[in-house]
A and B are shown apart, each in its own frame.
Chain A
Amino acid sequence: MSDVIGKVLLISGASFMLIAAIGVLRMPDLMMRMHAVTKAGALGTSLVLFSVAINYRELAVASLALAGVAFIILTAPVAAHMIARAAYWVGVPLWEDTIMDDLRDQYDPHLSGSDNASRKNAREERDTQSGA
C-alpha cells in the first residue's frame, strides 16, 4: 500500500517538474516563467522528497526528507520574490501583451538612493520595449 503511494507521489512529483520545465521553456516573459518554475518546481521537489520519506520506513530518513520539504517550501517563495524584485528593478522587459502592471507607479524615483538615473532609464527602456 505505502509502496503504491510512494510511487504515485514520485510520478506526480516528476510530472510537476516536467511541467515546470515546459513552462520555463515556453512562457513568453520572465514573470510567467517564474510563475511556472517557483510553484511547480517546488511542489515537484517536495512530492519527490515525500515519496522518499514514505519509501524508507525509517524515522531518521523520513525526518531528513521532511526537513528538506520544509526548507524548500520556506525558501522557494523568498528566492523567487528576491529575483523577481531585482529583475523588475533593473527593467527586464515584460510581455508585450501585458495588460496590467500594478507596480509601475509604485516605485518612487525620489526614494531610490544611489542610482536614480539608471533606474529611470531602465523603466523608460522597458516601456519602449514593451510598447506600453
Chain B
Amino acid sequence: MIFNYMMRIFDPINIAMLMMTGALLLAFVRLVRGPSLPDRVVALDLIASVTVGLTATYAVVTNHVDLLHIAVMLALIAFLGTVAFAIFVGKGEKV
C-alpha cells in the first residue's frame, strides 16, 4: 500500500510536475534576488510559462478540460503583463 504510494513518484506525470515545481522555485529565487527590474520581469515571465505548463499537466491529471482554458488565458495575460512592464521599464519611450 505505502509502497505503491511511494512508487507513484516515478510516474512520468509526477516527475514532470516535480521538475516544473523545481523550476518555479529557481525562478522565484531570481525574482527575489534580481538586481534590476528587467531581471525580475524575466523571472516573472518564466514563472508564468511554468505555471501554464503546470496547469496544463494538471488538466491531464484531473481530466478537467476547463483547466486548459485557464492555461491559455494565463499565457495571454502574461504576455500583456510583460509588454506593460517593458513599456514601464523604458519610461514610456516608444519601444
Contact = CB atoms under 8 A, between A and B. Distances in A.
Interface in B25-51: 25-27, 29-30, 36, 38-39, 41-43, 45-46, 49-50
Contacts of A41: 45-46, 49-50
Contacts of B79: 71, 75-76, 78-79
A21 B22 contact: yes
A48 B69 contact: no
Contacts of A112: 93
Contacts of A65: 56, 68
**Secondary structure call for the B interface:** helix
Contact of B27 (A7, A13, A21, A30): A21
Interface in A75-107: 75-76, 78-80, 82-87, 89-90, 92-93
B92 to A, nearest CB: 8
Contacts of A75: 75-76, 79
A11 to B, nearest CB: 6
Contact of B46 (A24, A84, A85): A24
Interface core residue of A14, A41, A58, A82 (most chain B CB under 10 Å): A14
Nearest to B69: A64
Contact of B57 (A48, A85, A87): A48
Interface core residue of B15, B19, B22, B82 (most chain A CB under 10 Å): B19
A38 B93 CA distance: 23
A67 interface: yes
18 contacts: A13-B16, A18-B20, A18-B23, A21-B46, A30-B42, A56-B60, A61-B65, A64-B69, A68-B68, A68-B75, A71-B72, A71-B75, A76-B79, A82-B83, A83-B89, A89-B95, A90-B90, A118-B91
For the complex of A and B, the 10 pairs showing the least CB-CB separation, nearest first, are A86-B90, A21-B23, A21-B26, A82-B86, A14-B16, A87-B38, A14-B19, A79-B82, A48-B53, A7-B12
